[in-house]
Chains A and B, each alone.
Chain A
Amino acid sequence: MSDLEIADRLRRDGLRLYIGPFVTRIRVTLPGLAEHIRFLYTDTPLDDSDGLIDFDIKLGPPPGIRRWLGLGATVYVDDVMQFMPFDPAIAVPMFEWGINWCVFNRPHQYLILHAAVLERGGHAVIMPGPPGSGKSTLCAALSLRGWRLLSDEVAMIRPSDRMILPLPRPVGLKEESIEVIRRFEPSAFVSRPWPGTKKGTIAHMRMPPESVARAGEMASPAWIVCPKYTSGATSRFEPIHRSQAMLYAADDAFNYSLLARVGFETLADVVESCGCFEFTYDDLDAAVKAFDELVPTMSTPMEGVGA
């Protein structure tokens, strides 16, 4: 589909994408966004049906006098304004945060942890991490070296069987991480940088096509790894107690408290089935190598630490 066709759909009935299990309708009345959306979601399948929409997102001018003065833009979900008006120059990162908002706040049939998730051999590594921990940078690097990206932002866990659902979306990179990933893999599809957001300069790395193609394949949690970027550090896994991993993941979860007993039991089961580590790293090549060396133990994840 050309930029023109995408722009036309965005302006009219909306572009409907399958983002993981969710049909997401995107409508945009701001100019110049079609090429960026196409760049990031070029491999993401379209939904050409008239079926139900899970997330309905619109980027457009804010209501009221700002609209008539041509000032700012905002994100609407189900036609309700969700963000304070912002500079249209940062519409792309705000659009991505709009999808985040939906994922964090809507699908409460799943336990939703704030964590990156990658998979190899059917086993998933869950990486919770606060801003600055190096979670997204490590996630991007692993996804460029053979690990399947399930998500850079959320571990979406189904309570009935504790399986993790993929939600392949662009990986958000901040500040120095943008150049770090460009240098790490020059062929990676990294967007132009968007300066001036609340989180500084942001760019997005397009998800590898395999991650999108396998968006229907769930993965079983095998490890919880809390990454910690430390300048000059040697790549190293340090065992942590599973209770520590549980509190770490629960503290940064989106609906753990909302799900109450179900959230607790689901997370406790996941933690019990995983080896739990803290991972310090600096050099990305060494970090990827360290993760790859874990692979042979994946067939016996219960033998990981944390007992």
Chain B
Amino acid sequence: MTAETSQTTKWIACPPSELSWRDWGDVVVVYHHGSADTHQLTPLGAEAIRSLQAAPLTAAELRDRLSQVFEVESDQDLLRYLEQLMLRFDELGLVERAP
């Protein structure tokens, strides 16, 4: 993903009705009804999806939000991590590019 698309591409998660959750603290398990797959997520990954269910966000906007929630530095490393995470979630059908 180029810097330009990273700044402009907004991501949106599949609607709440398509996901079932179980939060076990350090690991969150989610069942995706669309694919019938079950995934293990980090709390950060789970919060990313929940944030994107509330509103479409760019990776940079998501970084800013998650850095507040988890009280971590809003830096380039986190941005790169989230960009990769969005691509992986996209493959799994958990998020998609917002129209």
What is the interface of chain A, defined by CB distance below 8 A to chain B?
A: 241-244, 246-247, 250, 257, 260-261, 264-265, 268, 272, 307
Contacts and interface: CB of A to CB of B under 8 A. Distances in A.
Contacts of A247: 29, 38, 40
Given A242-B24, A247-B40, A261-B20, A268 B33 contact: no
A268 B22 contact: yes
Interface string B20-36: 10101111010101001
A250 B22 CA distance: 14
Interface in B33-50: 33, 36, 38, 40
Nearest to B38: A250
Interface string B45-81: 0000000000000000000000000000000000000
A248 B13 CA distance: 26
Contacts of B29: 243, 246-247, 268
Nearest to A258: B36
B25 to A, nearest CB: 8
Contacts of B27: 241, 243
Interface residues of B, number: 12
Given A260-B31, A265-B20, A272-B22, 20 more contacts: A241-B24, A241-B26, A241-B27, A243-B24, A246-B29, A246-B38, A247-B29, A247-B38, A247-B40, A250-B38, A257-B36, A260-B36, A261-B20, A261-B31, A264-B20, A264-B22, A264-B31, A264-B38, A268-B29, A272-B24
Nearest to A263: B31
Nearest to A259: B36
Contacts of B40: 243-244, 247
B16 to A, nearest CB: 12
B20 to A, nearest CB: 5
Contacts of B22: 246, 264, 268, 272
A242 B22 CA distance: 11
A246 B31 CA distance: 11
A307 B36 CA distance: 25
Nearest to A246: B29
A280 to B, nearest CB: 23
Contacts of A272: 22, 24
Contacts of A307: 24-25
A268 B21 CA distance: 9
Contacts of B24: 241-243, 272, 307
Contacts of A261: 20, 31, 33
Nearest to B41: A243
14 contacts: A241-B24, A241-B26, A241-B27, A243-B29, A243-B40, A246-B29, A246-B38, A261-B20, A261-B31, A261-B33, A264-B38, A268-B29, A272-B22, A272-B24
B5 to A, nearest CB: 33
A91 B20 CA distance: 43
